[in-house]
Amino acid sequence: MPCDTAHPAPLGTATALLPEDIPRIYVACLAAYNNGCLHGRWIDATTPDEIMAKVRAMLADSPLPGAEEWAIHDYEGFEGASLSEYASFETVCTLAEFITEHGRLGAKVYGYYGNDLDAAEAPALFVIGRDGKSQLVNYRMSGDYYVVDRLFARAELRLGEKRQDVVKIARNDLGSPKP
């Protein structure tokens, strides 16, 4: 079936949001793509349900009737983080939220940990000294355990920048008073 190839896929306009404002994906209709047509939409990475509703609307508007398959052909606003063309919308939205909170550094951490959000979101570990001051320390993962190569009486796991989640850790077997 011939399609109108005079209208290329919209790759951004003068009125589009800047990439660093809202992460978004370009979802393409594969039926059209496989027939030499570019048909798709830029969709903000909001919620999986909202993205799916917009993908369904895009597929319904396809120049090829009955289009069902789609793929992510482009993305922006993810600060250099990588997305697969078949990433789930849950992954897209979770990564968008992570990048929005942590910015370019978050994208680099995500890439460093092999594009694994669970590993990238590992909290920072701070040991609390006798003077009450905290010191960032390194640790490694061994299965579900954090391994720290030093003894400490108190520590905190901290996750997030703007709204930190904090887990306090105290060792009482060292004879120190409870915090």
3 state SS of 159: strand
3 state SS of 19: coil
Residues in CB range of 93: below 8 A, 6 or more apart = 45, 46, 47, 48, 51
Handedness of CA 102, 104, 106, 107 (dihedral sign): positive
pTM for this predicted structure: 0.61
Give the mean pLDDT per block of 10 residues along the chain (179 residues): 46 42 92 95 96 97 95 92 91 90 81 73 84 88 79 84 79 62
Q: What is the dihedral of CA 138, 142, 144, 150, to 10 degrees?
A: -40
